[in-house]
């Protein structure tokens, strides 16, 4: 690991000033960053430790019915918050399907959003990677790429964003609160992560010194609580990143879908909101045919980036099944294997 | 630049001067305090052998910078027994052959203790397997590990029922 300076600011303003320097990065739990630093993938000159800042670890309901989640709330504390899990069950299920219990206890909300891709070539400093080193090339393109992107990728980069948490969040129109050199601002989570284009090294809309201080769910996000699921196919049952995942949330009124929300994980460099698929479902009965049509629309633009054509068909099926599960209703208690298609209590119906 | 931190480790306050901020909690425990029960397996957060409790919660000590945990309360495998009296989870691992080579065992036991405090799995073997998935066992002693955790969970439930009765 490269030597670095360690800074522990007392206030958010101090943190922003300290992190605006070239070579500086924020340290929260470090569950991803330390791993990257040990491998020589990230080589920061300065760590700005935000874990001791006050006021960033609260979950609060705002007057308008929004929920505001501080950036330092741990993944486990959020998922196990009873009110949170009841109001946003797909988000809790996604959180509990990610990583291990130890990592969820440490990892933070803000850190989860900004975790890096798990592309093996990104992680291997001996490989060419445009994301790690701009202009160096992409060894994933002709390498082991069965897990890589099928949507939004470019010739420069076919990596995926690995977060589970972000998938239902983006479906529920989550908003990211950012403190930066110019003060406080907010953007839609959907605008936070960038597609690679010809500059995959630029991964987000954040500028130097920007600190995510909170994630907010707007009042409408609660409206899906009774019909919301997250479904995640993994290479092993637990403690694995998604091959493909989907969040599905429905608002059903008088036997018709008043509103649908669909997002996909493991398919692109960002959590992938499928708005065209949502439009298919508006005003129609929640039937298998409608779900098939929506799934088809969600993957219309998909194309393989390597040995991963199977992910397109898999993603269609996962969308159908997530919608089917959502329509059946959110279970009173999360299944023993959260988000797993193999969960014995998922009530899963084969699509 | 030197950094001073203090930790409570297995009930005792310990002060440290760190001349390098790169030291993880895992390396601090093993190299500075010679508490070598906490194992360095993968050192990348994938195997769980380094599991300890920090402020009552299980984490991977290999992915935690010591300097960032100034003031933390740490429990390691060396701190769970009371003298010669084993922690119920330790005793259950012996009773149920919850190990073979033993390398992952301290992490498994710390993870099980943390899991029981989280109270999410109860006595459901499927939930226990899911909640213990962050601890790998190369010998494949998983069946014994689940039996041990179930047994220990049962004892804890009995004890708490007795106390509340």
Structure confidence by residue, pLDDT tens digits, A23-60: 999 999 999 999 999 999 999 999 999 999 999 999 99
For residue A133, what pLDDT is reported? 97
Q: Is the pLDDT of residue B138 over 90?
A: yes
CATH number at residue A320: 3.30.390.50
CB spacing of B21 vs A238 below 8 angstroms: no
Q: Domain for residue A21, yes or no?
A: yes
Distances (CA, A) of B154 to B53, B151, B158: 22, 5, 6
CA distance B68 to chain A (A): 7
The DSSP symbol for A108 reads B
CA distance B33 to chain A (A): 22
Q: Is the pLDDT of residue A346 over 50?
A: no
Grade residue A343 by pLDDT with cuts at 50, 70 and 90. confident
Rounded (10°) angle between helices B88-95 and B105-118? 130
For residue A344, what pLDDT is reported? 61
Residue A279 dihedral angles phi and psi, to the nearest 5°? -60, -35
Q: What residues in A contact B24, CB-CB < 8 Å?
A: 34
Question: Which 205-234 residues of chain A touch chain B by CB within 8 A?
Answer: none
pLDDT > 90 fraction of chain A, expressed in percent and rounded = 97
Q: How many residues does this entry show for chain A?
A: 351
Tens of pLDDT, residues A212-243: 999 999 999 999 999 999 999 999 999 999 99
How far is the C-alpha of A195 from the C-alpha of A168, rounded, in Å? 19
Tens of pLDDT, residues A254-280: 999 999 999 999 999 999 999 999 999
CB spacing of B124 vs A3 below 8 angstroms: no
Which ipTM did the prediction report? 0.97
Q: How many domains does chain A contain in total?
A: 2
Asked if B119 reaches chain A (Cβ–Cβ under 8 Å), the answer is no
Asked if B3 reaches chain A (Cβ–Cβ under 8 Å), the answer is yes
Is this structure's pTM higher than 0.80? yes
Tens of pLDDT, residues A53-82: 999 999 999 999 999 999 999 999 999 999
| Dihedral in degrees, nearest 10, Cα atoms A74, A195, A276, A96 | -20
Mapping DSSP to helix (H, G, I), strand (E, B) and coil, where does residue A34 land? helix
Q: What residues in A contact B130, CB-CB < 8 Å?
A: 238, 336-338
CB spacing of A106 vs B63 below 8 angstroms: yes
A301: containing domain: 224-328
Mapping DSSP to helix (H, G, I), strand (E, B) and coil, where does residue B12 land? strand
CATH number at residue A27: 3.30.43.10
Token reading at A293 = 């049509």
Q: How many CA atoms lie within 13 A of B113 on its CB side?
A: 26
Q: Is the pLDDT of residue A348 over 60?
A: no
Q: Domain for residue A351, yes or no?
A: no
CB spacing of B44 vs A38 below 8 angstroms: yes
- Count of other CB atoms within 10 angstroms of residue A278: 22
For residue A351, what pLDDT is reported? 40
What average pLDDT does range A170-187 have in this prediction?
98
Grade residue A297 by pLDDT with cuts at 50, 70 and 90. very high
- Count of other CB atoms within 10 angstroms of residue A314: 18
Q: Domain for residue A274, yes or no?
A: yes
Asked if B129 reaches chain A (Cβ–Cβ under 8 Å), the answer is yes
Q: Is the pLDDT of residue B164 over 80?
A: no
CB spacing of A34 vs B63 below 8 angstroms: yes
CA distance B73 to chain A (A): 14
What is the rounded average pLDDT for all residues in chain A? 96
pLDDT > 70 fraction of chain A, expressed in percent and rounded = 98
Q: What DSSP letter does each residue of A210-247 carry, written as one string?
A: -EEEEEEE-GGGGGGTTSEEEEEE-SSSSS---SEEEE
Q: Domain for residue A14, yes or no?
A: yes
Q: Is the pLDDT of residue B60 over 60?
A: yes
| Dihedral in degrees, nearest 10, Cα atoms A163, A165, A170, A174 | -130
Q: Domain for residue A144, yes or no?
A: no
Q: Domain for residue A86, yes or no?
A: no
Mention every residue, 6+ apart, whose C-beta is less than 8 A from residue A214: A56, A68, A69, A70, A71, A176, A177
Identity of the residue in B22, B44, B130 whose CB atom sits nearest the CB atom of A1 = B22
Grade residue B165 by pLDDT with cuts at 50, 70 and 90. low
- Count of other CB atoms within 10 angstroms of residue A79: 24
- Count of other CB atoms within 10 angstroms of residue B13: 9
Residue B115's closest chain A neighbor by CA? A101
Q: What DSSP letter does each residue of A136-196 carry, written as one string?
A: S-BSSTTSS-TTS-SSS--SS-------STHHHHHHTT-EEEEEETTEEEEEEGGGTBPP-
| E strand residue ranges, chain B | 3-9, 12-18, 51-54, 57-60, 73-75
What is the rounded average pLDDT for all residues in chain B? 96
Q: A18: closest CA among A29, A31, A6, A3? A: A6
Q: Domain for residue A279, yes or no?
A: yes
Q: What residues in A contact B44, CB-CB < 8 Å?
A: 35, 38-39
Q: Are strands A67-70 and A59-61 parallel, antiparallel or unpaired?
A: antiparallel
Q: Domain for residue A27, yes or no?
A: yes
Asked if B90 reaches chain A (Cβ–Cβ under 8 Å), the answer is no
Q: Is the pLDDT of residue A187 over 70?
A: yes
Q: Are strands B73-75 and B3-9 parallel, antiparallel or unpaired?
A: parallel
């Amino acid at each position: 690991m490269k030597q670095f300076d360690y800074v522990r600011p007392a206030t958010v303003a101090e943190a922003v000033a300290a992190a605006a320097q070239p070579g500086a990065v924020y340290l929260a739990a470090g569950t991803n960053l330390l791993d990257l630093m040990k491998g020589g993938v990230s080589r920061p000159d300065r760590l700005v430790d935000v874990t001791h800042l006050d006021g960033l670890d609260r979950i609060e309901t705002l007057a308008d019915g929004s929920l505001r989640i501080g950036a330092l709330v741990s993944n486990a504390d959020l998922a196990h918050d009873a009110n949170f899990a009841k109001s946003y069950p797909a988000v809790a299920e996604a959180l509990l399907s990610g990583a291990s219990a130890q990592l969820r206890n440490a990892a933070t909300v803000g850190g989860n959003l900004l975790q890096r891709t798990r592309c093996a070539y990104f992680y291997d400093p001996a490989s060419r990677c445009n994301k790690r080193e701009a202009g160096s090339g992409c060894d994933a393109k002709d390498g082991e790429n069965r897990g890589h992107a099928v949507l939004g990728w470019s010739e420069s980069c076919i990596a995926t964003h690995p977060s589970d948490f972000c998938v239902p969040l983006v479906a529920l129109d989550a908003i990211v609160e950012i403190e930066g050199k110019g003060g406080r601002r907010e953007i839609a989570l959907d605008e936070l992560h960038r597609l690679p284009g010809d500059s995959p090294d630029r991964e987000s809309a954040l500028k130097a010194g920007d600190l995510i201080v909170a994630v907010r769910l707007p009042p409408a996000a609660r409206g899906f609580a009774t019909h919301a699921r997250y479904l995640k196919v993994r290479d092993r049952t637990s403690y694995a990143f998604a091959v493909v995942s989907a969040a599905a949330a429905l608002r059903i009124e008088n036997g018709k879908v008043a509103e649908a929300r669909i997002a996909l994980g493991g398919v692109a460099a960002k959590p992938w909101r499928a708005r065209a698929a949502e439009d298919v479902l508006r005003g129609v009965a929640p039937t298998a045919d409608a779900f098939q049509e929506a799934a088809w629309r969600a993957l219309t633009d998909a194309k393989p980036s390597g040995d991963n054509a199977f992910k397109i068909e898999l993603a269609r099926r996962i969308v159908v099944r997530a919608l089917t599960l959502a329509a059946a209703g959110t279970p009173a208690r999360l299944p023993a294997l959260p988000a797993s298609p193999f969960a014995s209590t998922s009530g899963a119906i084969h699509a | 630049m030197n950094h001073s931190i203090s930790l409570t480790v297995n009930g005792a306050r310990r002060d440290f001067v760190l001349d390098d901020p790169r030291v993880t909690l895992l390396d601090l425990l093993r190299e500075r305090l010679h508490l070598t029960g906490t194992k360095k397996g993968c050192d990348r957060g994938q195997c769980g052998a380094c599991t300890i409790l920090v402020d009552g919660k299980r984490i991977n000590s290999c992915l935690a910078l010591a300097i960032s945990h100034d003031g933390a309360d740490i429990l390691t495998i060396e701190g769970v027994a009371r003298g010669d009296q084993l922690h119920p989870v330790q005793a259950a691992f012996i009773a149920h052959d919850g190990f073979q080579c033993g390398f992952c065992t301290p992490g498994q036991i710390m993870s099980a203790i943390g899991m029981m405090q989280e109270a999410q799995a109860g006595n459901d073997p499927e939930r226990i397997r899911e909640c213990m998935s962050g601890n790998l066992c190369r010998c494949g002693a998983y069946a014994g590990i689940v039996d041990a955790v179930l047994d220990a969970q049962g004892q804890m439930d009995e004890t708490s029922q007795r106390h509340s009765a």
